[in-house]
């Protein structure tokens, strides 16, 4: 029995993961079993630090800029799926008119707000978009606007009872849930808390906004997580430390370079000057030696000159900084070349691999995050308000919600090769021509209409280009074809003469 227990104990020890060990190597590893929402304690401090890095450090600013540019570009545009061309034109015209006045703060258009939301999400981890109904007398194409709000506008408030909250509901991190866990409202500050921070959160300082009027843009990293964390949370400490190291090194170089030359004297103060025979009366305010271009300075007996030799940054400085930025780029998902602008010793194939992987990550965020959490809900609100205003019927409003969102197309890495590859895909039936055009962020019907209009205009003005010349044939094959043609002509001529002689004989 003792042997069996010993064998069982040995098997259990062999089966255990090293990561679950509690020996000397793991003794200092503190890993609390925090839930998805307890783990983000200190969320406001993370936001503040990330914003400071984005404001003051070039790598932080570059990170946000790269992500905003690649996810939004010039805008993620809706393309109605309706087959009715006249109705499609009506929807596009009404939407484009509203896009220009979509911002409740009257600063950006709808596509500019998309970029602002992405920037806020990357920096703060989340962003809120609030529906703002308007009166018909306001003169908007559709009586509705949206307002983009920072994450700070929803306080990290927890309460089981609160003034103005229905019985049985509860608040977690500023979001109100009902008894079955559905989001029913968001409690928002009436003014940004960063402008005037209150000592206590009172009910009259907050507004209860229904969840149906709010779009919450964030990426949950764990099931059950209800608030977002900045994409830079994992790298913010490294970014700050690297920036401090770089600043310290620059300051050391600046201070070292202040000292250019030192004059040493063997003669103590008060001794007789051998040139004048008088006691030396030098003072600390007296300049040692003025330096000018081409100066030959004669020194007194006993004086010597030593030039400063300040330490340089060191041979390992560039590689150290590169290694640190590689970690920053990996932690944020940003290619190192785009983050730093360093393209030294980067092959074309390597850059293509990095860019393609980054684009897949951007597309994931586009289609799984921003389009379903911002773009489509705003489009649904717009269609509902167009129906309320009498601009669309109920059936048309429902059809207006059915759109295909088109992000801006990626730039070609190899323009000739990339276009040829897509043309071959269409030619061999691997994909449709409409899909290729949509991938470029364009509307296939619009492209076809533009091509038809251009063709009519060219024909009208006589600008139709001549047909391309036939390709040059192989000389050997051409000679063989000419000989075969001569033989066929001779055979045909012989046949015609034979038939003529037969006709004469029969006659």
The CA distance from 212 to 149, in Å, is 16
The CA distance from 123 to 335, in Å, is 18
Domain boundaries, the chain: 38-231+335-411, 412-464
Q: Which residue matches tokens 């042997």?
A: 3
The pairing of strands 403-406 and 261-265 is unpaired
pLDDT tens-place string over residues 123-175: 999 999 999 999 999 999 999 999 999 999 999 999 999 988 999 999 999 99
* Burial bucket for residue 467 (CB in 10 Å: 0-12, 13-18, 19+): exposed
The CA distance from 397 to 332, in Å, is 40
The CA distance from 148 to 146, in Å, is 7
The CA distance from 263 to 304, in Å, is 6
The long-range contacts involving 317-326, CB below 8 angstroms and separated by at least 24 positions, are: 317/249, 321/242, 321/246, 324/238, 324/242, 325/59, 325/242
Q: Which residues contact 312 (CB under 8 A, 6 or more apart)?
A: 253
Grouping H, G, I as helix, E, B as strand and the rest as coil, residue 484 is: helix
b/e 356-368 (16+ beta carbons within 10 angstroms → b): eebeebbeebbee
Please report the pLDDT score of residue 48 as a whole number: 94
Give the E-state strand segments of 322-471 in sequence order: 403-406
pLDDT tens-place string over residues 331-355: 999 999 999 888 888 888 888 888 9
CA-nearest of 316, 138, 331 to 230 is 331
Q: What is the pLDDT along the chain (507 residues), one digit of tens a residue?
A: 566 666 655 555 566 777 887 778 777 788 888 899 988 888 999 999 999 999 999 999 999 999 999 999 999 999 999 989 899 999 999 999 999 999 999 999 999 999 999 999 999 999 999 999 999 999 999 999 999 999 999 999 999 999 889 999 999 999 999 999 999 999 999 988 887 666 667 767 899 999 999 999 999 999 999 999 999 999 998 888 888 888 888 887 777 766 666 666 665 555 555 555 565 555 544 555 555 665 666 666 767 777 666 666 667 888 888 888 899 999 999 999 999 888 888 888 888 888 999 999 999 999 999 999 999 999 999 999 999 999 999 999 999 999 999 999 888 888 888 888 888 888 888 888 888 888 888 888 888 888 888 888 888 888 877 766 666 657 777 778 778 888 888 878 777 777 777 676 665
Q: Which residue matches tokens 């983000």?
A: 40
């Amino acid at each position: 029995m003792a042997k069996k227990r010993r064998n069982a104990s040995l098997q259990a020890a062999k089966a255990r993961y090293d990561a679950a060990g509690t020996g000397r190597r793991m003794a200092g590893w503190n890993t609390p079993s925090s839930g998805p929402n307890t783990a983000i304690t200190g969320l406001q401090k993370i936001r503040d630090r990330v914003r400071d890095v984005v404001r003051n450090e070039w790598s932080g600013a570059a990170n946000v800029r790269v992500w905003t540019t690649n996810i939004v570009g010039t805008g993620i545009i809706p393309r109605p799926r309706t087959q009715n061309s006249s109705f499609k034109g009506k929807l596009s015209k009404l939407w484009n008119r509203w896009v220009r006045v979509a911002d409740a703060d009257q600063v950006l258009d709808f596509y500019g707000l998309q970029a602002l939301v992405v920037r806020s999400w990357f920096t703060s981890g989340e962003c809120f978009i609030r529906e703002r109904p308007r009166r018909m007398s306001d003169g908007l194409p559709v009586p509705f606007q949206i307002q983009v709000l920072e994450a700070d506008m929803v306080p990290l408030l927890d309460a089981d009872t609160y003034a103005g909250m229905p019985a049985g509901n509860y608040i977690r991190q500023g979001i109100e849930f009902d008894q079955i866990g559905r989001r029913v409202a968001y409690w928002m500050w009436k003014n940004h808390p960063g402008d005037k921070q209150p000592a206590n959160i009172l009910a009259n300082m907050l507004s209860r906004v229904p969840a149906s009027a709010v779009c919450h843009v964030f990426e949950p990293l764990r099931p059950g997580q209800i608030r977002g964390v900045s994409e830079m949370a994992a790298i913010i400490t490294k970014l700050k430390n690297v920036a401090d190291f770089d600043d310290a090194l620059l300051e050391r170089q600046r201070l070292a370079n202040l000292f250019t030359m030192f004059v040493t004297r063997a003669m103590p103060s008060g001794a007789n000057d051998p040139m004048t025979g008088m006691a030396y009366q030098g003072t600390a305010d007296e300049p040692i030696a003025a330096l000018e271009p081409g100066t030959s300075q004669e020194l007194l007996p006993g004086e010597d000159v030593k030039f400063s030799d300040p330490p340089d940054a060191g041979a390992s400085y560039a590689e150290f900084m590169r290694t640190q930025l590689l970690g920053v780029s990996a932690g944020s998902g940003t290619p190192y070349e785009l983050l730093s602008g360093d393209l030294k010793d980067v092959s074309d194939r390597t850059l293509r691999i990095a860019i393609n992987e980054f684009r897949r990550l951007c597309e994931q965020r586009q289609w799984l995050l921003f389009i379903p959490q911002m773009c489509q809900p705003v489009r649904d609100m717009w269609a509902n308000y167009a129906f309320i205003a009498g601009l669309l019927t109920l059936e048309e409003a429902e059809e207006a919600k059915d759109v295909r969102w088109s992000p801006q197309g990626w730039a070609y890495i190899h323009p000739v090769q990339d276009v040829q590859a897509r043309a071959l895909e269409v030619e061999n039936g691997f994909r449709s021509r409409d899909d290729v055009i949509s991938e470029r962020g364009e509307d296939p019907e619009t492209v076809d209409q533009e091509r038809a209009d251009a063709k009519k205009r060219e024909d009208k003005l006589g600008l139709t280009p001549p047909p391309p010349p036939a390709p040059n044939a192989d000389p050997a094959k051409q000679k063989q074809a000419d000989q075969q043609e001569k033989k066929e002509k001779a055979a045909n001529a012989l046949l015609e003469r034979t038939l003529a002689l037969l006709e004469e004989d029969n006659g």
